[in-house]
């Protein structure tokens, strides 16, 4: 065994090596101190086994320094645990990527995909401070095959969305959805929403009512214009292709599919959702560049899937074209990887919403009249995380801490981490806020049950049901908790929650 040379001591295979590890128990510390004391007594003491080299006072000083290191690393009983480093328990995320290709538009090759994913990973790590995402190429499908396999028009997922569809070429009654639209817009403060518009336009959108009126006007006018556009000499929204170019159809198919975590298409997708009109889509060209969507059968992103389109970078249709002239292929791939894929991962993994008033370094920011390419250039010119996004990142980090401790059956630590996550999570998150809160409250309920605190277990599951009643696992667990409180038995508390549920 090789030992380092310590001034005043020779290399001695019998030497005692003392590390700087923490001593977590006070009694253990006392015992170790007594053992150390005994080492300095008698003929076989540490002193006799150490060979002095030079000044004996130097050797004494070194030994005292070693003892000081032990004392310096000692943490008294009851002292707080040291802070966990950021993202120490972030899960490794491996994502299955499929290309869904529309024959009317520019192809996405294997080399294109590799370049996009490499840029997505770099940009994600730069903006969020953690490199834990990996991709697996799951091949290609025609857009016809994808929809034939995954879109079921008899499903609840389809019917739920069809009820809020903007019908091309028809009169659409937005008043039926006004309450839902206003609730959606109020996820952002009015100042945040106004940050999307150029300064000269903000007076026009001085209230939520003004923004709502603008959405109705813009969506109606722009969809009417899109209906007149052609690709390859044929209508862009011709009947045999319209099904594949509907955002609501995509959302239904993504919810029903069970194979992929990232879906990358080259196709055009019309924003036809009247009830949740994202300003950066409606006030732009009423197309979809990407989305983080519900996909309960896919666990890698906690029941989410991301979809991105290269159409905006490739099209020659003047209405949609973002830049003058052709975009070089490598530039197109970099922009798509960063501004579409990494952006959507920010939604799905960190629960980040779209932002409208963050700085040029923010991957989640959107501004009217700013192209993807211009946005990408700003991200490159301003590296590093966005300070305004820190609260979402911190909340998600706390949730991952909770998941880690829960998996190790460290129930108290899990409850503390989950509580921190709930306190920090803003109400404006990607997906359904109530569904997310319910999931965390349910996990806390199971942890309380494991600790034997059944009243708090009941409170936790009641909170879950109050925020989100559509997961059957919550109602079943509530029955079990109530039965236990009445003296009956309950199943093991560490059981996992249901991953599948239907959002309203």
Which residues 6+ apart lie within 8 Å of 140 measured at CB?
98, 99, 100, 101
Q: What is the predicted pLDDT for the residue at 229?
A: 97
* 22 within 8 A of 72, measured Cβ to Cβ: no
Chain segment 255-314, per-residue pLDDT in tens: 999 999 999 999 999 999 999 999 999 999 999 999 999 999 999 999 999 999 999 999
DSSP 8-state class, residue 295: -
pLDDT digits (tens, 9 = 90+) for 386-444: 999 999 999 999 999 999 999 999 999 999 999 999 999 999 999 999 999 999 999 99
- Pick the range with the lowest mean pLDDT from 28-42, 180-194, 483-497: 28-42
Q: Which residue has the tokens 């298409």?
A: 265
Work out the mean pLDDT of the chain and round it to a whole number.
86
User: Distance between CA 213 and CA 186 in Å, rounded?
Assistant: 14
Tell me how crowded residue 498 is: count the other CB atoms within 10 A of its CB. Answer: 15
Q: Given this model, what pLDDT does residue 78 score?
A: 52
Q: What is the pLDDT of residues 155-184, one digit of tens each?
A: 999 999 999 999 999 999 999 999 999 999
Report residue 29's pLDDT band, with 50, 70 and 90 as the boundaries.
very low
Domains and CATH numbers, the chain: 1-82 (no CATH), 93-385 (no CATH), 392-485 (1.25.40.10)
What is the structure's pLDDT at 67? 53
The confidence score (pLDDT) of residue 81 equals 56
Distance between CA atoms of residues 227 and 473, nearest Å: 45
**Biggest CA-to-CA distance, the chain:** 101
- Give pLDDT, residue 492: 56
Tell me the C-alpha distance between 455 and 47, whole Å.
60
Q: What is the per-residue pLDDT across 337-360, written as a single tens digit (0 to 9) for each?
A: 999 999 999 999 999 999 999 999
d(CA 404, CA 370): 40
Residue 60 pLDDT greater than 70, yes or no: no
* Residues 313-347: b if buried by 16+ CB within 10 A, e if exposed: bbbeeeebbbeeeebeeeebbbbbbbbbbbbbbbb
Q: Which two tokens stand for residue 503?
A: 């959002």
- Closest C-alpha to 17, from 2, 37, 27: 2
């Amino acid at each position: 065994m090789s030992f380092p040379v310590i001034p005043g001591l020779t290399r001695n295979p019998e030497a005692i090596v003392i590390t700087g590890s923490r001593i977590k128990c006070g009694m253990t510390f006392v015992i170790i101190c007594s053992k150390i004391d005994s080492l300095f007594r008698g003929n076989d003491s540490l002193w006799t086994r150490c060979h002095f080299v030079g000044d004996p006072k130097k050797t004494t000083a070194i030994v005292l320094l070693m003892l000081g290191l032990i004392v310096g690393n000692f943490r008294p009983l009851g002292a707080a645990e040291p802070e966990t480093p950021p993202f120490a328990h972030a899960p490794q995320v491996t994502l299955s990527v499929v290309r869904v290709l529309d024959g009317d538009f520019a192809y996405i090759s294997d080399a294109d995909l590799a370049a996009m994913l490499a840029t997505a990973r770099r940009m994600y790590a730069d903006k969020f401070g953690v490199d834990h995402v990996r991709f697996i190429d799951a091949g290609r499908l025609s857009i016809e095959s994808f929809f034939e396999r995954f879109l079921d028009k008899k499903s609840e997922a389809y019917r739920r969305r069809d009820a809020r569809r903007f019908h091309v070429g028809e009169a659409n009654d937005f008043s039926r959805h006004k309450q839902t639209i206003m609730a959606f817009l109020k996820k952002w403060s009015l100042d945040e929403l106004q940050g999307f518009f150029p300064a000269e336009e903000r007076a026009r959108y001085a209230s939520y009512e003004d923004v709502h009126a603008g959405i109705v006007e813009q969506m109606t006018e722009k969809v009417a214009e899109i209906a007149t556009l052609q690709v390859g000499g044929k209508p862009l929204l011709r009947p045999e292709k319209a099904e594949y170019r509907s955002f609501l159809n995509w959302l239904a198919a993504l919810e029903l599919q069970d194979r992929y975590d990232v879906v990358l298409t080259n196709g055009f997708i019309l924003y036809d959702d009247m009830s949740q009109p994202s300003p950066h889509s409606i006030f732009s060209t009423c197309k979809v560049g990407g989305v983080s969507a519900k996909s309960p059968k896919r666990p890698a992103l906690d029941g989410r899937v991301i979809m991105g389109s290269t159409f905006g970078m490739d099209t020659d249709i003047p209405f949609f074209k973002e830049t003058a002239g052709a975009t070089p292929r490598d530039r197109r791939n970099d922009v798509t990887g960063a501004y579409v894929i990494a952006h959507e991962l920010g939604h799905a993994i960190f629960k980040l919403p779209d932002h409208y008033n963050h700085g040029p370094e923010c991957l989640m920011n959107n501004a009217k009249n700013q192209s993807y390419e211009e946005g990408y250039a700003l991200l490159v010119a301003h590296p590093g995380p966005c300070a305004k996004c820190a609260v979402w990142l911190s909340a998600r980090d706390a949730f991952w801490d909770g998941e880690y401790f829960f998996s190790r059956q460290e129930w108290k630590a899990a409850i503390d981490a989950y509580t921190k996550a709930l306190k920090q999570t803003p109400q404006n998150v990607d997906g359904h806020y109530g569904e997310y809160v319910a999931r965390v409250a349910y996990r806390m309920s199971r942890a309380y049950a494991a600790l034997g605190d059944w009243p708090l277990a009941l409170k936790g599951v009641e909170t879950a049901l109050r925020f989100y009643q559509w997961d059957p696992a919550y109602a079943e667990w509530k029955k079990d908790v109530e039965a236990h409180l009445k003296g009956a038995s309950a199943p093991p508390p560490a059981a996992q929650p249901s991953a599948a549920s239907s959002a309203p």
